[in-house]
């Protein structure tokens, strides 16, 4: 008699059960199921779930791009004053903290 | 990624051929599990097919970090149970008299056939969960923990189910041997 604490395999019973339940050749069954696979359509919700991640990222990028285009269109083309202001700001980059050496500034080419 | 993991990933991406390979690989196990629930072999095959097709539909829900076999067999077992309920088949339904009748002679085929019929009838008398537990353990070689995940019950329950199912089946086998 098997102990309740014995949980090893029982090869004799296993083999007898396998023979009893053996359904025969799998080839016909496999062919039947393979044929039916083409009729299966994924559920809408599963498809949406699979695409949700990529879809959200794409939608966010599209919204951002559309927002930028809309803002630029609302502002219109840059005016002359705005362009000069931008140029004036850019000169800051050329201003040195210390004055230049006059001998260098007023020197003539060739040392004359 | 394992061979099976690769097949599952391809199937999830819509590759039906990859899923076909999985069908081929699990056909025998799925059919036996369904047969453990349904006495009629054609019904069992229909249930196994339902299970495969249902698994394909639900493939997006499968966690690829877990083994595919137990996940699939849970779906197949549920498909077989649903079919059984729909058909209102009684648990202790009598076996087909032709199958129960002794074989034409004392040859090995007849003995095997008789033994097979006896075991199927004995299985049919067991509660469904015990039936599945003993088939998954002794025929398919799954461990108690995996069977617990397939059947959705604690591991201790599986141990108890396997123990009681084996005791019952062995008593039937012993009686049959004495009669012969």
**pLDDT tens, residue by residue, B90-137:** 444 444 444 444 444 557 777 778 889 999 999 999 999 999 999 999
* Domain closes at, from B91, B109, B132: B91
Using a CB-CB distance cutoff of 8 angstroms, which residues of chain B are in contact with residue A17? 119, 123, 134-135, 138-139, 169
Pick the more confident residue, B30 or A104.
B30
Same domain, B84 and B99: no
Q: For the whole model, what pTM was predicted? A: 0.68
* Domain closes at, from B91, B120, B149: B91
Of A17, A26, A43, the CB nearest to B27: A26
Pick the more confident residue, B80 or A98.
B80
Radius of gyration of chain B (CA): 18
Is the pLDDT reported for residue B83 higher than 80?
yes
Using a CB-CB distance cutoff of 8 angstroms, which residues of chain B are in contact with residue A28? none
Is the pLDDT reported for residue B159 higher than 90?
yes
Domain range list for chain A: 11-111
Name the residue range of residue B23's domain. Answer: 1-91
Same domain, B29 and B75: yes
Same domain, B84 and B104: no
Q: Residue A50's closest chain B neighbor by CA? A: B60
Is the pLDDT reported for residue B39 higher than 90?
no
The total domain count for chain B is 2
Using a CB-CB distance cutoff of 8 angstroms, which residues of chain A are in contact with residue B58? 46
| pLDDT band with cut points at 50, 70 and 90 for residue B46 | very high
Count Cβ–Cβ pairs < 8 Å, chain A vs chain B.
Answer: 108
CB-based contact A29 B49, cutoff 8 Å:
yes
CATH of the domain at B76: 1.10.1740.10
Same domain, B12 and B48: yes
Same domain, B36 and B52: yes
* Domain closes at, from B91, B107, B122: B91
If phi > 0 it is left, if psi is from -120 to 50 it is alpha, else beta; for residue B5 that is alpha
Same domain, B144 and B131: yes
Note the pLDDT of residue A43.
Answer: 59
Within a 10 A sphere around the Cβ of B115, how many other Cβ atoms?
18
């Amino acid at each position: 008699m098997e102990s309740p604490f014995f949980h090893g395999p029982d090869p004799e019973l296993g083999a007898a059960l396998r023979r009893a339940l053996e359904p025969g050749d799998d080839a016909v069954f496999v062919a039947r199921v393979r044929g039916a696979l083409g009729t299966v359509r994924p559920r809408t919700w599963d498809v949406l779930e699979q695409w949700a991640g990529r879809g959200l990222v794409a939608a966010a990028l599209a919204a951002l791009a559309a927002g930028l285009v809309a803002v630029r269109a609302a502002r219109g083309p840059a005016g002359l004053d705005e362009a000069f202001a931008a140029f004036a700001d850019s000169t800051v980059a050329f201003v040195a903290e210390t004055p230049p050496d006059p001998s260098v500034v007023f020197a003539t080419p060739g040392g004359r | 990624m394992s061979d099976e993991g690769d097949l599952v990933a391809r199937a999830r991406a819509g590759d039906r051929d990859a899923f076909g390979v999985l069908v081929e690989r699990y056909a025998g196990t799925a059919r036996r599990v369904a047969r453990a629930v349904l006495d009629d072999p054609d019904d069992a095959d229909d249930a196994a097919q339902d299970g495969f097709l249902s698994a394909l539909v639900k493939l997006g829900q499968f966690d690829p970090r877990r083994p595919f076999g137990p996940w699939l067999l849970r779906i197949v077992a549920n498909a077989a149970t649903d079919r059984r309920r729909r058909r209102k088949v009684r648990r202790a339904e009598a076996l087909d008299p032709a199958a129960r009748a002794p074989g034409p002679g004392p040859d090995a085929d007849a003995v095997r056939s008789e033994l097979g019929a006896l075991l199927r009838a004995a299985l049919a008398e067991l509660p469904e969960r015990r039936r599945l537990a003993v088939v998954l353990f002794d025929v398919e070689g799954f461990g108690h923990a995996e069977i617990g995940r397939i059947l959705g019950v604690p591991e201790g329950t599986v141990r108890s189910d396997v123990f009681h199912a084996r005791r019952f089946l062995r008593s039937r086998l012993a009686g049959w041997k004495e009669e012969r």
